[in-house]
Amino acid sequence: MLAFITRRTLLAIPVLFGIMVVVFLLIRAIPGEPCSAILGEQATVEACERFNEANGLNDPIWVQLAIYIGNVLTFNLGESIQFSVPVSQLLIERLPLTIELAMSALIIAVVVGVPLGIIAARRHNTAIDAGTMAFANIGVSMPVFWLGLMLAYLFAVVLKDTPFALPPGGRLSAGVISVPYYVVWNWNLTEGSTWAGINEFVGNFVIFNSFITGQWSVWWDAVQHMILPAITLATIPMAIIARITRSSLLEAMNKDYIRTARSKGATETRVVSKHGLRNSLLPVVTIIGLQLGLLLGGAVLTETVFRLAGVGTALFDAITGRDYAVVQGFTVIIAAGYVVVNLLVDLSYGYLDPRIRVSK
């Protein structure tokens, strides 16, 4: 197991390196200079010259690349040209929300999608099968931007002043602040230290933080604000998971061991859950892992509709603003996240399928 993890981690290094170089070159291939994008229309040529000089943009491209790689190797992701804060600080602020949103969406997608797929497979070629698949596919067909706006309008405007009302956007209600756990518990953290950064990162998981510190009104406010964006974001993965579950379960239910289980007198529920579903989970888990990786990359449209300051909007703003350091830094982190998720998926195969465990 350890050798497997080590091998996969080492293999990830050239992958990440390649991504770094490609992103570095691609962002600079986009027409337009950071100066005019950040300083605006009134920036003079002289102002741009000073700006480029101050930010190392006048250096040869290979020098910039070498500096960037050197910084990354020392865990320095650079500084945002636009906001003049370290990229790592932006990550600390933005990534927790994206992770919370992605996990919330994925939970909804799995909790709804897997049962839908099971129902469709069990009622194969019936109206229920067609209906459940149609329901799932409606989620794929609706544009996320439109769906999000419609949900926000329905729950925030139409259902305003009813028990079903939900906030239209933001992470918390205006003026509501989640006090980090290290403040609540009076931890002495040295400002600017790595340990302080780690705790700030964890503290920015608002739902988690408010839960463990007993800030129940904040927790409930955060949950309410997460419902609509999570549903919006979950519709596409839910449909994909439902379809994969259905097809994989159908395939498993046609195997000989299923007939054997039935002939031994197992109930249909036990046949499906213990024998059928478990043996059909490998492709489902694979898809779930891929979807999680996609979600962690940031959902720009959902974040835009619901005013969520996540990785997606940060990346979009950085690309349009030619904030090279942010684009490069965020992309590396997302790629690393993808690698970790895929590794976890691979490890789960061994848990799900004893044959894989034995062969390893």
Partner 1 sequence: MRRNTAFLILLLAFALVVAACSDSEDSGTTTTTAAPDATTAAPDATTTTAAGSDTTAATTAPDAGFEGKAVANAAGCAEDYTGRVNTITAIDEFTVEFALCQPHPAFLEQIAFGVFGIQPEEHLEATSGAPLDNPIGTGPYSLQEWVRGDSIIYTRNDNYYGDVAPHATAVLNWATESSGRLIELQSGDSFGMTFPGPEDFATIEGDSNLELINKPEANIFYVGMTNTFEPFNNVDVRQAIAQGIDRQRIVDTFYPPGSEVASHFTPCSVEFGCEGESWYDFDVEAAKALLAGAGLADGFSTTIYYRDVTRGYLPTPGNVATDIQAQLLENLNIDAEVVVLESGEFIEQCSNVGECDGIHLLGWTGDYPHVTNFFDPHFGATVLQFGDPYPEIYEPLLTASTTTDPAVQGPAYEEANNAIKQLVPMVPVAHSASAFGALASVEGAYAPAWGQVLFNFWDNGTDTMVFTQGNEPISLYCSDETDGESLRACAQVVEALYGYEPDGTVKPQLATECAPNEEGSVWTCSLRQGVVFHDGSNFDANDVVASFAAGLDAASPLHTGNTGSWVYYEALWNGLMNAPAE
SS3 195: helix
Q: How many residues bind partner 1 (CB under 8 A)?
A: 53
Binder among 45, 73, 127, 358 for partner 1 (CB under 8 A)? 45
- Residue 29 interacting with partner 1 (CB under 8 A): no
- Residue 32 interacting with partner 1 (CB under 8 A): yes
Stretch of 79-87, 112-120, 211-219, 259-267 lying at the interface with partner 1 (CB under 8 A): 79-87
Are 225 and 96 in contact by the 8 Å Cβ rule? The answer is: no
Binder among 104, 213, 248, 313 for partner 1 (CB under 8 A)? 313
Q: Which is nearer to partner 1, 250 or 309 (CB)?
A: 309
The type of residue at 133 is M
Give me the phi and psi of 269, to 5 degrees please.
-60, -45
Rounded Cα distance, 216 and 234, in Å: 25
Q: Which is nearer to partner 1, 147 or 261 (CB)?
A: 147
Q: Which is nearer to partner 1, 72 or 156 (CB)?
A: 156
CB count within 10 Å of CB 245 equals 27
- Residue 42 interacting with partner 1 (CB under 8 A): yes
Which of the residues 229 through 288 are near partner 1 (CB under 8 A)?
Answer: none
- Residue 59 interacting with partner 1 (CB under 8 A): no
- Residue 36 interacting with partner 1 (CB under 8 A): yes
Are 116 and 135 in contact by the 8 Å Cβ rule? The answer is: yes
Handedness of CA 91, 93, 94, 95 (dihedral sign): positive
- Residue 169 interacting with partner 1 (CB under 8 A): yes
SS3 315: helix
**Burial class, 217, CB count within 10 angstroms (exposed 0-12 / middle 13-18 / buried 19+):** exposed
List, in sequence order, every residue forming a beta bridge with 79; answer none if it has no partner. Answer: 86
Contact set with partner 1 (CB under 8 A): 31-33, 35-48, 50-51, 54, 81-84, 90, 93-94, 97, 149, 152-153, 156-157, 160, 167-175, 177, 304-310, 313-314
